[in-house]
Copies of this chain bind each other. A is one copy, B any other.
Amino acid sequence: MENKRSSSKATTTTTILLLILLSSSTTSQAMKRKIRLNQPCKTLLLYFHDIIYNGRNIANATSAIVGAPVWANRTTLGDFMHFGDVIVFDDPITMDNNLHSETIGRAQGLYLYDKKQVYSSWFGFSFVLNSSDYKGTINFIGADPLMEKTRDVSVVGGTGDFFMSRGVATLTTDAVQGDDYFRLECY
């Protein structure tokens, strides 16, 4: 069972392509800030890494199942393509795809599996960045149909260096190890 899920899950790894479009240009104008209209876009490439609590990895886990349908439990992603499983996460964000690289922030919030027939998820979360280059948060919500090669979620707001940001983050496949680890790439 573990193997079956792991191998099927192996096709659902995730990479995030983050395209932040500063729709804040006009708003900021009104606020007496000067932002060049011809440079509305900022692009970031980031990775985040998710290790789900499985009953034995409390020290390493960066996320945990906190809700599930009555047929499922909270130490293993459930049947029916994990439908209804809700995961809270605090994932490290790095500039490359190495889990052990320097952390420039955390991806925090929740995701849930929302389809019985294929793997599909929905995210509500924030990037909390605190590096020499970026200080601030970016807030996201959106559908993540995992079987598509790329999936877009919305940037619905931001704070600090990302004040009033809007745009799109594109997710693509990177790597997964069993049910417990997957890596997300953002650019």
Q: Which positions in A face B, CB cutoff 8 Å? A: 21, 23-27, 29-31, 37-38, 40-41, 53, 55, 58, 64-71, 73-75, 80, 83-86, 88-90, 106, 108-110, 112-116, 120, 122, 124-126, 128, 137, 139, 141-143, 145, 152-160, 163-164, 166-168
Contacts and interface: CB of A to CB of B under 8 A. Distances in A.
Contact of A108 (B27, B108, B115, B128): B115
A17 to B, nearest CB: 12
Count of identical protomers in the assembly:
3
Given A108-B143, A159-B153, A84 B64 contact: yes
A157 B65 CA distance: 27
Contacts of A41: 31
A74 to B, nearest CB: 4
A157 B20 CA distance: 12
B159 A156 contact: no
Contacts of A89: 114
Contacts of A74: 69-70
